């Protein structure tokens, strides 16, 4: 506990703070130029100077570097202090008269104008080495002339925060000071483009005057980190909240781009977290959980429209997928709900193409079920958000469900144009003046009976649903099958839509087939109920025709184990014998037939039982 007096106010502080921190915490504002909470104190600008009376001695000290001590008496705005600050502002204004930061400070502390002149070089010191002419922005001068003294890049107030941030915090050290006295400036070693700079942009963000041009430090555009949730329409930082509705609603750190993982530095987020919730040393943990039932709800993947290059996705900038447009119309999206083209203009006409990657022999044969409805929804929203003409290009309009078809009808009234025909291509090759600068949709209008060219500003591709890319691997993990389309196979399409052929493994949602949200929710409830029945009952009712191992006979050759379609056979390493899990065995008999030593028998189908049946049948003769 340290007690001190600031401006007549008694303040107690527990931590080992500097006078500046304590004053600010007490609401006393001391101006600073070179101080920042993420940086260790430097004490170069001298603006935070205060009058310190301690043990009868008065001295002027910078509050950013001065640790508090018992019995200190501080005056932060005494006449002597203000005189110093005023002259310091004038001195700095002589160096950078255009600086907004300095002008504001001058206004605040009552400096009407700068009485000092811009610095001129001292002729007697010039030794005509011409070093000054090698710096960009410095005019070439004849050796006999007086060189104008370096004043740094225009706007740089030499606070040094960028240098300290890059060096001490980010631990890169791409920026540094060069030169002494008036020749001091911030630059890279030998003023050459830096190969160490990682274009993290920390320096530009901390610079109070915007004097740093990142391209001068490293002449390459920084690689943005595209936001996964915004589908690349916006960028994110290494530490980010995945999306506003994330559960738990907690930011995550991406180790691939976080500077701390690259250099061991930064950790500005950790320093600023008020509750110390950030720990960069966290590791992935692999946990093993023993369960009796599994519900597979691994979802779907959207169709990649690059597989249909004739629609121009990735080629023409204004071709979007429906999911991207979902983000555009969303108020919390990258454009705040403004639907604009890539160059910021408002679209005057929009074409929505159905069945991209669905009902297509060339890509996916199935109907993805949800696209017609969401295309209609998008058409409705786009009508609201823009003044554009809307065109929907469909094959059939599939609107099953409550009020779905009524919604379609509403859109017809909203003057959305519906053209029945599979779109052939999207092109930017204009054939008439109206098509100049637009994307032309070529489609056979089957109801009208001829091929049309419809120029639009923006094309939206209603992409279909596909199984996840790793569906095959996942299905093997759970000993499931996939249908011909790649979605997980249910035991019976009508009577057992949530069960798989493996007992205890259930399916829910779009991993089993394309479906919308209401259906998924219903199916999830069904799968959960089935699972709970198993758990609740505590036992499984089985058909008695399970197989079993004759232990003495089993030679441990393991040939039965991979053959069981229900992974019911395991290997006991201690006994070196096969073991059948009766709960899983379905009595298919494959293992019985395959065992080379005849060590597996099946109940109800044992040799003597089969012979008895044969005898019974023959007895009728």
Partner 1 sequence: MATRLTSCGELAAYRKTVAAKRDPNRTCVTVCGGTGCRACQGLDVAAAFRQAFQEHALEGKVDLRVTGCLGFCEHGPVVTLRPKGLIYVKVTAADAKEIVEKTLLKGEEMERLFIKDPQTKKRLRTREEIPFYKHQMPVIFGANFDLDPQSIDDYLYVGGYTALVKALTTMTPELVIDEVTKSGLRGRGGAGFPTGTKWASCRKVESNGKYIVCNADEGDPGAYANRSLMEGNPHSVLEGMIIASYAIGAHEGFIYVRAEYPLAVELLAKAIEDARALGLLGKNILGTGHSFDLEINRGGGAFVCGESTALMASIEGRAGEPRAKHIHMVERGLWDRPTVLNNVETWSNIPLIVNRGSQWFTAIGTGDVSKTPWGGSKGTKIFSLVGKVNNTGLVEVPMGATLRQIIYDIGGGIKGGKKFKGVQTGGPSGGILGVQHLDLPIDYDQLVEVGSMMGSGGMIVMDEDTCMVDFARYFLAFLEDESCGKCTPCREGVVQMRQLLEQIGAGKATMAHLDLLQDLAEVVRDASLCQLGVTAPNPVLTTLAYFREEYEAHIRNGKCPAGVCKALVSYLIDAEKCNGCTMCARNCPSGAIEGDKKQPHKIVLEKCSKCGICYEVCKFHAVARN
Residues that bind partner 1 (CB under 8 A): 41, 43-47, 49, 60, 62, 65-67, 80, 83-84, 87-88, 91-92, 94-95, 115-117, 119-120, 122, 124-125, 149, 158, 160, 177, 179-184
Shortest separation between residue 144's beta carbon and partner 1, angstroms? 16
| Nearest residue (CB) to partner 1, 50 versus 370 | 50
| Nearest residue (CB) to partner 1, 43 versus 497 | 43
Shortest separation between residue 117's beta carbon and partner 1, angstroms? 6
Shortest separation between residue 41's beta carbon and partner 1, angstroms? 8
With vertex at residue 62, the alpha carbon angle to CA 58 and CA 63, rounded to the nearest 5 degrees, is 95
| Nearest residue (CB) to partner 1, 88 versus 231 | 88
Shortest separation between residue 58's beta carbon and partner 1, angstroms? 11
Shortest separation between residue 119's beta carbon and partner 1, angstroms? 5
Q: Could you give the CA distance from residue 14 to residue 1 in angstroms, rounded to a whole number?
A: 4
Q: Could you give the CA distance from residue 372 to residue 395 in angstroms, rounded to a whole number?
A: 10
Shortest separation between residue 104's beta carbon and partner 1, angstroms? 17
The answer to whether 439 and 426 have CB atoms below 8 angstroms apart is yes
| Nearest residue (CB) to partner 1, 121 versus 589 | 121
* Residue 551, CA atoms < 13 Å, CB-side half-sphere: 6
| Nearest residue (CB) to partner 1, 46 versus 75 | 46
**Tokens in use for 23?**
């004053």
Q: Could you give the CA distance from residue 29 to residue 37 in angstroms, rounded to a whole number?
A: 15
The answer to whether 211 and 154 have CB atoms below 8 angstroms apart is yes
| Nearest residue (CB) to partner 1, 179 versus 251 | 179
| Nearest residue (CB) to partner 1, 114 versus 239 | 114
Shortest separation between residue 296's beta carbon and partner 1, angstroms? 59
Phi, psi of 65 (to 5 degrees): -110, -10
Question: What is the pairing mode between strands 577-580 and 569-572?
Answer: antiparallel
| Nearest residue (CB) to partner 1, 182 versus 381 | 182
DSSP string, 469-531: TTHHHHHHHTT--B-TTSSBPPSBTTTBTTB-SSTTEEE-GGGSS---HHHHHHHHHHHHHHH
**Helices and strands per DSSP (H, E), number in the chain:** 15, 25
Q: Could you give the CA distance from residue 325 to residue 342 in angstroms, rounded to a whole number?
A: 12
| Nearest residue (CB) to partner 1, 150 versus 366 | 150
Closest CA to 374 of 335, 323, 409, 333: 323
Q: Which residues of 340-367 are buried (b: 16+ CB within 10 A; e: fewer)?
A: eeeeeeebebbbbbbbbbbbbeebbebb
| Nearest residue (CB) to partner 1, 23 versus 426 | 23
Closest CA to 345 of 437, 460, 245: 437
| Nearest residue (CB) to partner 1, 62 versus 386 | 62
Rg (CA), the chain: 37
End-to-end alpha carbon distance in the chain: 108
Shortest separation between residue 149's beta carbon and partner 1, angstroms? 8
| Nearest residue (CB) to partner 1, 157 versus 419 | 157
Shortest separation between residue 232's beta carbon and partner 1, angstroms? 43
Shortest separation between residue 322's beta carbon and partner 1, angstroms? 58
Shortest separation between residue 124's beta carbon and partner 1, angstroms? 6
Neighbours of 226 (CB within 10 A): 13
**Tokens in use for 20?**
């500046």
Shortest separation between residue 264's beta carbon and partner 1, angstroms? 20
CA distances from 367 to 1, 58, 232 (A): 72, 84, 27
Shortest separation between residue 94's beta carbon and partner 1, angstroms? 7
| Nearest residue (CB) to partner 1, 86 versus 301 | 86
Residue 217: its H or E element: helix 214-217
DSSP string, 548-590: EE-TTT------SGGG-TT--EEEETTTTEEEE-TTT-----H
Which residues lie below 8 Å from residue 81, measured CB to CB, with a gap of 6+?
49, 50, 51, 60, 75
């Amino acid at each position: 506990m340290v007690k001190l007096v600031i401006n007549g106010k008694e303040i107690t502080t527990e931590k080992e703070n500097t006078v500046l921190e304590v004053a600010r915490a007490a609401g006393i504002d001391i101006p600073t130029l070179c101080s920042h909470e993420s940086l260790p104190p430097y004490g170069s600008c001298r603006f935070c100077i205060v009058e310190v009376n301690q043990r009868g001695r008065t001295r002027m000290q910078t509050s950013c570097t001065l640790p508090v001590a018992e019995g200190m008496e501080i005056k932060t705005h005494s006449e002597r202090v203000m005189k110093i600050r005023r002259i310091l502002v004038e001195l700095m204004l002589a160096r950078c008269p255009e600086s907004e930061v300095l002008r504001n400070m001058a206004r605040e502390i009552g400096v009407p104008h700068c009485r000092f002149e811009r610095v001129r070089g001292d002729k007697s010191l010039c030794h005509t080495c011409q070093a000054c002419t090698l710096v960009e922005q410095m005019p070439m001068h004849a050796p006999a002339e007086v060189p104008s003294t370096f004043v740094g890049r225009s706007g740089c107030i030499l606070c040094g925060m960028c240098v300290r941030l890059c060096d001490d915090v980010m631990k890169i050290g791409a920026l540094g000071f060069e030169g002494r006295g008036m020749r001091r400036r911030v630059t890279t070693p030998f003023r050459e483009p830096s190969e160490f700079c990682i274009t993290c942009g920390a320096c530009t963000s901390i610079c109070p005057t915007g004097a740093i041009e990142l391209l001068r430090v490293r002449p390459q555009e920084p690689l943005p980190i595209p936001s996964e949730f915004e589908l690349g329409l916006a960028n994110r930082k290494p530490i980010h909240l995945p999306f506003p509705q994330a559960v738990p609603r907690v930011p995550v750190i991406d180790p691939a781009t976080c500077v701390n993982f690259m250099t061991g530095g930064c950790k500005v987020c950790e320093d600023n977290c008020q509750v110390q919730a950030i720990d960069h040393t966290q590791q992935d943990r692999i946990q093993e959980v023993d369960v009796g039932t599994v519900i597979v709800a691994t979802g779907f993947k959207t169709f990649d429209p690059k597989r249909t290059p004739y629609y121009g996705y990735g080629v023409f900038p204004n071709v979007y997928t429906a999911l991207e447009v979902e983000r555009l119309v969303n108020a919390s999206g990258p454009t705040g709900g403004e639907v604009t083209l890539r160059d910021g203009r408002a679209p005057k006409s929009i074409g929505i193409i159905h069945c991209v990657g669905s009902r297509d022999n060339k890509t996916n044969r199935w109907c993805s079920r949800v696209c017609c409805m969401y295309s209609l929804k998008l058409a409705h929203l786009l009508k609201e958000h823009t003044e554009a003409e809307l065109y929907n290009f469909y094959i059939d309009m599939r609107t099953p469900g409550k009020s779905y078809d009524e919604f379609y009808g509403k859109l017809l009234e909203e003057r959305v144009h519906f053209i029945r025909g599979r779109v052939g291509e999207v092109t930017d090759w204009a054939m008439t003046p109206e098509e100049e600068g637009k994307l032309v949709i070529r489609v056979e209008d089957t109801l009208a009976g001829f091929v049309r060219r419809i120029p639009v500003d923006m094309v939206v591709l209603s992409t279909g649903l596909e199984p996840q890319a790793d569906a095959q691997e996942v299905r093997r993990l759970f000993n499931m099958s996939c249908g011909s389309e790649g979605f997980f196979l249910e035991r019976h399409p009508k009577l057992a839509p949530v069960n798989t052929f493996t007992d205890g493994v259930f399916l829910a949602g779009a991993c089993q087939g394309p479906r919308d949200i209401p259906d998924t929710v219903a199916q999830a409830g069904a799968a959960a109920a089935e699972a709970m029945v198993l758990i609740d009952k505590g036992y499984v009712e089985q058909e008695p025709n399970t197989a079993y191992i004759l232990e003495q006979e089993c030679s441990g050759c393991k040939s039965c184990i991979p053959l069981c379609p229900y992974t019911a056979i395991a290997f006991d390493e201690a006994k070196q014998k096969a073991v059948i899990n009766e709960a899983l065995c379905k009595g298919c008999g494959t293992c019985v037939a395959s065992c080379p030593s005849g060590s597996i028998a099946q109940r109800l189908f044992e040799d003597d039982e089969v012979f008895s049946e044969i005898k019974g049948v023959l007895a009728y003769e």
